[in-house]
Amino acid sequence: MNVANLSEMWDRLTGTQADPPRWLIGATAAVALAAVLSGGVWRVVRNAVTIAHEGGHGLVALLSGRRLDGIRLHSDTSGLTVSRGKPYGLGMILTAAAGYSAPPLLGLAGAALLAAGHITALLWGATALLLVMLVMIRNAYGALTVVLTGAVFLLVSWLTKAQVQAAFAYLVVWFLLAGGARPVAELQRSRRRDRSGTSDADQLARLTRTPAALWLLFFYVIAICSLVGGGRWLLAR
């Protein structure tokens, strides 16, 4: 790859892209919301939320000084991130809190990029994050899920026209924003059926000696605030 090609790639990455039509922003929001509310579709696309959830655990574990042993993604859309370090303290609390917080916060970050016109940066950045996450995947289904997801981002960013890229980027961001609260609601329902105390909220309750319901509220607040804030940025765009 010569200098001219590298310069062109850098210009694409750092440059801004044209505003998409307003109808496209509204249409992608409607499609994302329908996917979140539809039970059948949600069971499939929830894998993307699980990737963000477990990726959040893994990233914060590394940033807080813990040793990340690996990530597993399962066909029932559940996941598991294993890290080593002190089983208490701020690092452990942040790691446990990162899972349900990650999807809506990623959506908020994506909305900020789109509001600034950086569609290409969002697509390439997401592909890079998926590539990094792939290194830490420890099961076949998880690797396949991450590879396929990354391939979609890569193909869209390289082989499609600008309007298709914009539609895909807005759809992904709307989905993360709109889908941030549903996993929390599912967690709330599952805790009523399963009293084993193994959920993120229960783990945080033990670590901080606060009620698990407080952590559920914390996750809801992050999801709702991200949706409102990110939605305003996208619609203002």
Q: What is the separation of C-alpha 71 from the centre of its chain, rounded to a whole number of angstroms?
A: 15
Q: What is the pTM of this model?
A: 0.93
Domain boundaries defined on the chain: 22-187+195-236
Angle at 169 between CA 151 and CA 9, to 5 degrees: 70
Instruction: Identify the pLDDT of residue 1.
Output: 55
Residue 137, strand partner residues: 71
Q: Please report the pLDDT score of residue 237 as a whole number.
A: 64
pLDDT tens-digit readout, 156-208: 999 999 999 999 999 999 999 999 999 999 999 988 887 777 899 999 999 99
Which residue stretches of the chain are H helix?
3-14, 22-37, 39-63, 90-115, 119-136, 140-159, 162-178, 182-193, 200-208, 212-236
Cα–Cα dist 146/200, whole Å: 23
pLDDT at 10 over 80: no
pLDDT digit string, tens, across residues 11-51: 666 778 888 999 999 999 999 999 999 989 999 999 999 99
Spatial distance between the Cα atoms of 13 and 124, rounded to a whole number of angstroms: 8
Q: Tell which residue, 124, 127, 120, 121, has the closest CA to residue 164.
A: 120
